[in-house]
Amino acid sequence: MPDLEWSVENNVGTIRLNRPEQRNAFTFEMVHEWARLLRAAKDDDDVRVVVLTGTGDKAFCSGIDLGSISNANAELTPLERKSHLHDEIHQVAYAIEALDKPVIASINGAAVGAGLDMALMCDMRIAARSARLSEGYIKVGLTPGDGGAYYLPRLVGTAKALELLLTGDFVSASEALQIGMVNRVVEDSELGAATQRLAEQIASAPPVTVRMIKRATYQSSRSDLRTALDLISSHFAVVASTQDAAEALSAMKEKRSPAFVGK
């Protein structure tokens, strides 16, 4: 079985980390394929939503496989360490940023260090009730290497993010929901089905509209009000002229399910 699996069902593409015996720790080879799949999904009309999850019920992802990179490896130069992150591991973050289709993390167990960062960079997160989350880097003497210091404050605020980053404390799924780290918490046995339902609900919406909403949301978070409103007026005008917008209105009037084509 491959360490990283890809499947598509009902317009939902699923990336599954498949190393349960290693707590789904990722290798450089997995990262390369991970980023490639995200880039391919960008231009694949059959994929409207992407889900990221892990195999088993123990761990979503425990981060980088320490057999691949370790701060204990004295042979690595500072440039080599930086290159491992910037040129390889960070390619997943860049690919997600470039993907204007929603990405949902389905957190099936512990998410630690870079494993948690991989969930935080997704657009939404659903957690199993038994899931536990920790940045954890501080406990091995490292700074957050995969975007934790960027993503976490934007979700939970600076003060809470610093508490979690500087202590490495674990957060339960319930607390993660309370502070805004995750969107939903479901029973462990319901995680896969609940994630698929949400993904399919989004995938059933007009694809162009979904992509425009994701773009506008992130662009607006980096803009002043006038710029954001000017931008959304352009997005609105484009979306309103699509076949799918006309189909949505017709379906509503005729009280039937719409059939969207992404145009």
Res 189: pLDDT: 97
pLDDT for res 69: 57
The pLDDT, as a whole number, for residue 1 is 80
pTM, full prediction: 0.94
Alpha carbon distances (Å) from 250 to 52, 60, 243, 244, 247: 34, 42, 11, 10, 5
Least confident of 12-21, 80-89, 174-183, 218-227: 80-89
Q: Which of 49, 53, 45 is nearest to 15 (CA)?
A: 53
- Quote the pLDDT of residue 183: 98
Mean pLDDT of 154-169: 98
Question: What is the structure's pLDDT at 202?
Answer: 97
Confidence of residue 156 (pLDDT cuts 50, 70, 90): very high
Mean pLDDT over residues 58-62, rounded? 96
Band of residue 209 on the pLDDT scale cut at 50, 70, 90: very high
| CB-CB contact of 135 with 148 (8 Å) | yes
Average pLDDT over the chain, rounded to whole?
Answer: 94
Q: How far apart are the first and last CA of the chain?
A: 37
**pLDDT score for 77:** 87
pLDDT of the residue at 85: 87
What confidence score (pLDDT) does residue 244 get? 92
What is the reported pLDDT for 112? 97
Per-residue DSSP letters for 72-111?
T-TT--HHHHHHIIIIIIHHHHHHHHH--S-EEEEE-SEE
String of DSSP letters for 130-166: T-EEE--GGGGT----SSHHHHHHHHH-HHHHHHHHH
Q: What's the average model confidence in pLDDT over 125-144? A: 96
**Structural domains of the chain, ranges and CATH numbers in brackets:** 4-203 (3.90.226.10), 207-254 (1.10.12)
Q: Lowest-pLDDT range, 81-90, 112-121, 215-224?
A: 81-90
Q: How large is the average pLDDT for residues 157-186?
A: 98
Q: What integer pLDDT is reported at residue 80 of this predicted model? A: 85
Residue 75 pLDDT:
78
* pLDDT beyond 90 at 262: no
pLDDT of res. 73: 61
- pLDDT tops 70 at residue 71: no
- The pLDDT of residue 78 is 87
The mean per-residue pLDDT over the stretch 152-170 comes to 98
| pLDDT for res 108 | 97
pLDDT tier at 68, thresholds 50, 70, 90: low
Cα within 13 Å of Cα(247), Cβ side: 17
- Residue 70 in this model has a pLDDT that exceeds 80: no
- Tally of CB atoms within 10 A around 171: 23
